[in-house]
Amino acid sequence: EAAVTQSPRSKVAVTGGKVTLSCHQTNNHDYMYWYRQDTGHGLRLIHYSYVADSTEKGDIPDGYKASRPSQENFSLILELASLSQTAVYFCASSDGQANTEVFFGKGTRLTVV
């Protein structure tokens, strides 16, 4: 079964500080994604990547950067964290070829104070 691990699982950050969320997958998948979930809502795509050293903007990229240094690792970076970025962040991966089923990590709860 797909294995996507996120770290940390929860974090409290101060407004204006830098936050890095990390994701590691052992599925040999080409595609990786970062989604955000706000309380009581569905998930929205922030950034994604289909190959190492390249990232693409999703639907809500403002205020976020992403980094894909290898096939297995995908980071989400908040250079200047803001209160509005308090949410749960999910990383995911998919093969992106014949089978595009997406598998999610357990999420990172980020609270910006």
Partner 1 sequence: GDKVKQSPSALSLQEGTNSALRCNFSIAATTVQWFLQNPRGSLINLFYLVPGTKENGRLKSAFDSKESYSTLHIRDAQLEDSGTYFCAAEGGMLSGSFNKLTFGAGTRLAVCP
Q: Is 103 in the site for partner 1 (CB under 8 A)?
A: yes
Residue of the chain from 6, 23, 33, 76 that contacts partner 1 (CB under 8 A): 33
Q: Which of 13, 45, 52, 77 is the binder for partner 1 (CB under 8 A)?
A: 45
CA 101, 95, 19, 59 torsion: positive or negative? negative
Structure tokens at 11: 């974090």
29 in Cβ contact with 98 (< 8 Å): no
Among 6, 21, 31, 81, binds partner 1 (CB under 8 A): 31
Q: For residues 108 and 76, what is the distance between their CA atoms, to the nearest angstrom? A: 11
Among 13, 52, 77, 102, binds partner 1 (CB under 8 A): 102
Least distance in angstroms from the C-beta of 18 to partner 1 = 25
**Near partner 1 by CB under 8 A: residue from 41, 54, 70, 84:** 41
Please report, as residue ranges, which positions from 46 to 85 form the binding site for partner 1 (by CB under 8 A).
48, 50, 58
CA distance 47 to 40: 21
Q: Distance (Å, rounded) from C-alpha 113 to C-alpha 111?
A: 6
Q: What is the phi/psi pair of residue 16, to 5°?
A: 90, -10
Q: Which residues bind partner 1 (CB under 8 A)?
A: 31, 33, 35, 41-45, 48, 50, 58, 88, 90, 94, 96, 99-104, 106-107, 109
